[in-house]
């Protein structure tokens, strides 16, 4: 019978093709292109800590949260549908369950300089949930606003790590630093 051999060959081919993938992304969907290579901070914060959310184009499926430069969490894009996105994050020490959260982008600013997001609480699922299992429509009880940080290191400092954006002369309201004297604003 040739059918089992054909199934085995197809399975080997599938495993081989996924092992040779040129990308090694964390998530299963990607964040919008207009959000990649951008860093946001909470627009309203009464804390001394600076929580930043970094979207990278090196892996457009994940976002990294930092607090005063220390990574505090990594979340991955799990499912996107219109303005809705399900984020997934691992539970430390648990290999069988993950947490999932529904977020809705309010599309407040098409330039993505300011982001307003409605969000649900994190929920634990054993298996991979469906979009409708996580985004139930009754849990979007929180709202957060984020403003893009823009450039985050001085003009004279080199970019040495992911998330850094070097300021240029165009980023300065007045050319008072002595480096941008010929630029007129």
Domain ranges of the chain: 22-148, 151-179
- 47 φ, ψ to 5°? -100, 160
CATH of the structural domain 22-148, one choice from 1.10.287, 2.60.40, 2.40.128, 2.30.30: 2.40.128
Residues 6 or more apart whose Cβ sits within 8 Å of residue 38: 54, 55, 112, 148, 149
pLDDT in tens, 147-160: 877 777 777 778 88
pLDDT in tens, 30-87: 888 888 888 888 766 555 556 788 887 788 888 888 887 788 888 999 998 888 889 9
C-alpha–C-alpha distance, residues 77 and 100, integer Å = 10
Q: Is 72 in contact with 63 (CB distance < 8 Å)?
A: no
C-alpha–C-alpha distance, residues 129 and 47, integer Å = 34
Joined tokens for residue 156: 């004279």
């Amino acid at each position: 019978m040739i059918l089992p051999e054909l199934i085995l060959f197809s399975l080997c081919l599938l495993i081989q093709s996924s092992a040779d993938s040129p990308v090694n992304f964390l998530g299963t969907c990607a964040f919008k292109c207009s959000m990649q290579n951008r860093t946001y901070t909470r627009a309203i914060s009464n804390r001394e800590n600076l929580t930043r959310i970094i979207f990278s184009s090196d892996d457009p499926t994940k976002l990294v949260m930092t607090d005063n430069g220390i990574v505090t969490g990594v979340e991955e894009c799990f499912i996107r549908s219109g303005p809705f996105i399900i984020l997934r994050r691992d539970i430390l020490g648990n290999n069988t369950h993950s947490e999932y959260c529904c977020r809705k982008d309010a599309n407040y600013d098409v330039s993505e300089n300011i982001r307003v997001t409605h969000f649900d609480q994190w929920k634990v699922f054993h298996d991979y949930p469906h979009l409708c299992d996580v985004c139930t429509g009754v849990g979007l009880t929180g709202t957060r606003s984020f403003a893009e940080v823009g450039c985050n290191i001085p003009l004279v400092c080199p970019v040495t790590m992911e998330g850094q954006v070097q300021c240029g002369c165009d980023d300065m309201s007045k050319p008072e630093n002595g480096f941008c004297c010929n630029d007129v604003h």
